[in-house]
Structure 1
Amino acid sequence: MKIVIPDDYQDCVRHLDAFSQLEGHDVTVYNDTVTDLDELAERFKDAEALVLIRERTPITDSLLKRLPKLKVISQTGGGAAHVDIAACQQHGVTVMAGKGSPYAAAELTWGLILAAMRHIPEEVNNLKAGRWQCTLGTGLKGRTLGIFGYGKIGSLVARYGQAFEMKVLVWGREGTRQRAAEAGLTVAQSAEALFEQADVLSLHVRLNDDTRGLVGASLLGLMKPSALLVNTSRSQLLAPGALEAALKAGRPGQAAVDVFDEEPVTSHALLALPNLTATPHLGYVEKDSYELYFGDAFRNLLAFAEGQPVANLAS
Structure 2
Amino acid sequence: MKIAILDDYQDAVRTLDAFARLAGHEVLVFNDTCRDPQALAERLVGVEGLVLIRERTRIDEALLSRLPDLKVISQTGGGAAHIDRQACERHGVQVVTGTGLPHAAAELTWALVLATARHLPQEVENLKAGRWQRTLGAALHGRTLGIFGLGRIGSLVARYGQAFGMSVLVWGREGSQERARDAGLDVADSQRDLFERADVLCLHLRLNDDTRGIVGAEDLAAMSPDGMLINTSRAELIGPGVLEAALRQGRPGRAGVDVFEREPLLEHPMLALPNLVATPHLGYVEKDTYERYFADAFDNLLAAMQ
Q: Does 1:216 align with 2:216?
A: yes
Letter in 1 for 2:87: A
2:88 is aligned to 88
- Please give the alpha-carbon distance, in whole angstroms, between the structure 2 residues aligned to 1:28 and 1:208: 31
1:304 is aligned to 304
Q: Helix, strand or coil for the counterpart of 1:282?
A: coil
- Please give the alpha-carbon distance, in whole angstroms, between the structure 1 residues aligned to 2:301 and 2:214: 36
- Please give the alpha-carbon distance, in whole angstroms, between the structure 1 residues aligned to 2:258 and 2:211: 18
1:95-132 deviation digits (Å, cap 9, x = unpaired) = 00111101000000000000000111110000111111
Letter in 2 for 1:152: R
2:274 is aligned to 274
- Please give the alpha-carbon distance, in whole angstroms, between the structure 2 residues aligned to 1:175 and 1:6: 35
Identity %: 68
- Please give the alpha-carbon distance, in whole angstroms, between the structure 2 residues aligned to 1:127 and 1:76: 39
Q: Helix, strand or coil for the counterpart of 1:136?
A: coil
Letter in 1 for 2:66: R
Q: Helix, strand or coil for the counterpart of 1:80?
A: coil
TM-score scaled to structure 2, two decimals? 0.99
1:163 is aligned to 163
Q: Does 1:49 align with 2:49?
A: yes
Q: Helix, strand or coil for the counterpart of 1:267?
A: coil
Query: Does the aligned pair in 1 maintain the 2:149–2:170 contact within 8 Å?
Result: yes
Q: Helix, strand or coil for the counterpart of 1:77?
A: coil
Q: Helix, strand or coil for the counterpart of 2:256?
A: strand
- Please give the alpha-carbon distance, in whole angstroms, between the structure 1 residues aligned to 2:218 and 2:100: 33
2:186 is aligned to 186
Query: Does the aligned pair in 1 maintain the 2:38–2:66 contact within 8 Å?
Result: no
- Please give the alpha-carbon distance, in whole angstroms, between the structure 1 residues aligned to 2:19 and 2:206: 30
1:201 is aligned to 201
Letter in 2 for 1:140: L
1:287 is aligned to 287
1:73 is aligned to 73
- Please give the alpha-carbon distance, in whole angstroms, between the structure 2 residues aligned to 1:272 and 1:216: 22
- Please give the alpha-carbon distance, in whole angstroms, between the structure 2 residues aligned to 1:45 and 1:29: 14
- Please give the alpha-carbon distance, in whole angstroms, between the structure 1 residues aligned to 2:111 and 2:24: 40
1:20 is aligned to 20
Query: Does the aligned pair in 1 maintain the 2:105–2:283 contact within 8 Å?
Result: yes
2:147 is aligned to 147
Q: Helix, strand or coil for the counterpart of 1:82?
A: coil
1:113 is aligned to 113
2:100 is aligned to 100
Letter in 1 for 2:14: R
1:276-312 deviation digits (Å, cap 9, x = unpaired) = 0000000011100000000000011121232xxxxxx
Q: Helix, strand or coil for the counterpart of 1:95?
A: strand
State the Cα RMSD in Å. Answer: 0.7
TM-score scaled to structure 1, two decimals? 0.96
2:256 is aligned to 256
Structure 1 residue ranges (4+ consecutive) displaced by more than 6 angstroms after TM superposition = none
Q: Helix, strand or coil for the counterpart of 1:291?
A: helix
Q: Helix, strand or coil for the counterpart of 1:252?
A: coil
- Please give the alpha-carbon distance, in whole angstroms, between the structure 1 residues aligned to 2:38 and 2:91: 19
Letter in 2 for 1:205: L
List runs of 5+ in structure 2 lacking aligned partners: none
- Please give the alpha-carbon distance, in whole angstroms, between the structure 2 residues aligned to 1:62 and 1:80: 17
- Please give the alpha-carbon distance, in whole angstroms, between the structure 2 residues aligned to 1:272 and 1:133: 21
Letter in 2 for 1:235: A
- Please give the alpha-carbon distance, in whole angstroms, between the structure 1 residues aligned to 2:217 and 2:77: 32
Deviation at 1:208, TM superposition (A): 0.8
1:6-49 deviation digits (Å, cap 9, x = unpaired) = 11000000000000000000000011111112110101121000
1:24-78 deviation digits (Å, cap 9, x = unpaired) = 0000001111111211010112100000000011111111111010000011001
Q: Helix, strand or coil for the counterpart of 2:283?
A: coil
Deviation at 1:221, TM superposition (A): 0.5
Deviation at 1:190, TM superposition (A): 1.0
List runs of 5+ in structure 1 lacking aligned partners: 307-315
Letter in 2 for 1:179: R
